[in-house]
Amino acid sequence: MRYQNDQELFALMKEKLYTAVCCDVMDDLGYWNQAMRHDLRPVDNDMVVVGRAKTVLAPNVYKVYENPYKIEIDALDSVKEGEVVVVSTNNSTTNGIWGELMSTATVARGGTGAIVEGMVRDIRQIKKMNFPLFAVGYKPVDSKGRGYVIDYDCPVDCGGVRVKPGDVVFGDIDGAIVIPKEIADDVIRLALEKVSKEKMTKNELLEGKYLKDVYAKFGVL
The residue among 8 and 27 lying less far from its own copies, judged by its C-beta, is 27
> With binding defined as CB under 8 A, does residue 217 bind its own copies?
no
- Considering only residues 67 to 126 of the shown chain, the ones binding its own copies according to CB under 8 A are 69, 72-74, 76-77, 88, 90, 92-93, 96, 99-102, 104-105, 108, 119, 121-124
Minimum distance of its own copies from residue 62's CB (angstroms): 5
- Considering only residues 48 to 67 of the shown chain, the ones binding its own copies according to CB under 8 A are 57, 59-63
The residue among 9 and 37 lying less far from its own copies, judged by its C-beta, is 37
From 6-14, 132-140, 178-186, give the range in contact with its own copies by CB under 8 A: 132-140
The residue among 83 and 172 lying less far from its own copies, judged by its C-beta, is 172
Q: Are residues 104 and 74 in contact, defined by beta-carbon separation less than 8 angstroms? A: no
> With binding defined as CB under 8 A, does residue 174 bind its own copies?
yes
Q: Which of 18, 71, 166, 192 binds its own copies (CB under 8 A)?
A: 18
Size of the site for its own copies (CB under 8 A): 79
Q: Which of 20, 81, 166, 192 binds its own copies (CB under 8 A)?
A: 20
